[in-house]
Each structure stands twice: as C-alpha cells, then as structure tokens.
Amino acid sequence: MERKPLFQKWKTGLGKTRTGLLARLFASKDGINEAFYEELEEALILADAGAGVTERLLDELQAVIKEQKISDRAGARKALAGLIAKAVTTQKPFSADTGEAVVLIVGVNGVGKTTSIGKLANSYREQGRKIMLAAADTFRAAAAEQLGEWAKRADVAMVRHNEGADPAAVVFDAIASYKAKGCDLLLCDTAGRLHNKANLMNELGKIRRVIARELPDTPCETLLVLDAVTGQNAVAQARAFAEVCQLDGVILTKLDGTAKGGVVISICETLKVPVRFVGVGEGIDDLQPFNAELFAEALLGNDAD
C-alpha cells in the first residue's frame, strides 16, 4: 500500500539515471548476447558505479544468468536488481531509529549538510521525536541563520553562538539545552571544509569528545554528506574524510539532478558504510530513508510497478 508513492519518489529522484542507458538496455526485446554485456558495462560505468564494482557485478550477473538459465532481459534485470540490492544493504539500523541518538553531519562545502539537517529534523519531529539542532558551523557567515530558518520550518529547537565561536562549545551548550528540554535526538551541523585536514580532525575530534563526555550513554553517529552530482569525486571525498574521522554512514544528496545514481553502489562497496538517506530535491520532504530494493529497481528502470 505504502510502497507506491515512495517508489514513485524514487523513480522521480532517479529520473536522469533511469531514462538513461540502463533503462533502455533492459527495455529492449533483444536476448542476452555479447552486446548486452558490453552495453551493460558501459551503462553502469556511465551511471558512476565505478570500474571495480561494475566488473564484479557483471561477473556475478553472468554466473546467475548461467545458473538460473535466464534468457531474457527482464529476467536479467531482476537478477541484477537482486545483486545490486545485496551490495547496498546494511544489517545495522540507523541509531536514531532505535532510540536516543546524536548525529554529527560532516562534508565539504555546499553538498547539502544544512538542508539535510532541516529535512531530517522535520521528518523525525513528525515521527514524534524531540529534536535539538546544534549550529556548529561557526565558520561561514550566515550559516547559523540558515540553520535557524530550517529550525523554524521544521518547528524544532536550536542552539547557536556567534560567527567564529568554538564549534565544540556550541555542541556543549546544545547538549545542555537538549538535556534540559528532554530531547531525544541531537543533530549537529558542521562547517564544510576539508582543505585543512589537521584543523578538521581537531575540530571534529573535539566535538566528539564533548559528546562522549556529556552524553556517554547515547550513541553518536557521524554521517558524511556527499553530492551525487559529483559522481566518482564523491567517493574520493569520502575516502579523504574516512582518513581524518570516523564515518558511520552517508547521506547522498541531489540524486534528482544527476544520471550518476550508480555511485551509491560504489560508496557502499568502497567505504563499507551504509547510505542512510538520499536527497531527491530541495523541499523539506525531499529526503528519503535509503531503501536498497527500491533503489535497485528504480536504478534499472523497472516500470512494471
């Protein structure tokens, strides 16, 4: 019952990827021949699944096709969707979904950190959670104002300091307010930069230490926000972040504006961390919890649903 609208959103969100080579390839009535594998390889590379992932998926698909004696492209699509879903599935639930949690949002400039926090705050508030936002991006002018706008729209509380303040001090005060108000989810915005690794490491390390000290029994996850439009560069960015801080998951934004949806597979495979949410637009409702099966089906352009 609920599946249809969500699936529609995914289909719209993955619009550019879907109407591309992958969808056309599987819609073809031709059988499974040499050209099929060649075109599939090209389509997966163009969707930014990455060379290594593409090669492995093709090998696995070939084995399944042989084993199950699949002879048409609809069957191949189903088999590939299963393989892709398996590659991007995580068994570990998102900590905020299982109880009280702190979520630290990191990522380079302009990827959609603040927007994603606004969407997350709204969605979890709608689910009955009590949210506190920490405006720990004290680096960029107007960053706190921007988060403040989202706090207003999402109808949640926020703690901020002045520009240039210590981000860890903002988080410290946000935790005090979080405790006083009886909140159960703290979302922390951070400054978007990676140009100075030592600084970033210090800043994030300090924030995590404050959280560990002030909320020792609350799980804390760091989510890296990546812009899907940047394709394989997003994977490189993720590697760079993984070098300086602990990463627990990814939010992949702007999936609505790119034909590079395959990058999801690449991120899961290379980083070994789950994609938790995907951004499919600029509106407050345009953030979806990541669903492996729906993603795989939408990516391959399954219009049967």
Ligand X SMILES: Nc1nc2c(ncn2[C@@H]2O[C@H](COP(=O)(O)OP(=O)(O)OP(=O)(O)O)[C@@H](O)[C@H]2O)c(=O)[nH]1
Q: Which residues bind ligand X (CB under 6 A)?
A: 107, 109-115, 137, 140, 143, 192, 253-254, 256-257, 279-282, 286
Between residues 248 and 286, which has the closer beta carbon with respect to ligand X? 286
Count of residues touching Mg ion (by CB under 5 A)? 2
Nearer to Mg ion, 114 or 222 (CB): 114
CA–CA gap between residue 57 and residue 69 (Å, rounded)? 17
Site for Mg ion in 112-141 (CB under 5 A): 113-114
**Residue number with CB closer to ligand X (95 or 288):** 288
Within 10 A of 196 (CB to CB), how many other CB atoms are there?
Answer: 10
Q: Name the closest residue to Mg ion (Cβ).
A: 114
Residue whose token pair is 């988080």: 171
Q: With respect to ligand X, which residue has the nearer C-beta, 137 or 297? A: 137
Minimum CB distance to ligand X, residue 108 (Å): 7
Contacted by 202, from Mg ion, ligand X, none: CB < 5 to 8 Å by type = none
Q: Which is nearer to ligand X, 78 or 119 (CB)?
A: 119
Binding partner of residue 249 among ligand X, Mg ion, none, CB under 5 to 8 Å per kind? none
Measured from the CB atom, the residue of 220 and 228 that comes closer to ligand X is 228
Q: Which does 219 bind (CB under 5 to 8 A by kind): Mg ion, ligand X, none?
A: none
CA distances from 104 to 78, 249, 279, 289, 298 (A): 37, 10, 17, 17, 29
Least distance (Å) between residue 270 CB and ligand X: 22
If one asks whether residue 9 binds Mg ion (CB under 5 A), the answer comes out as no
- Angle separating helix axes 232-244 and 263-271, nearest 10 degrees: 30
Q: Enumerate binding residues for Mg ion (CB under 5 A).
A: 113-114
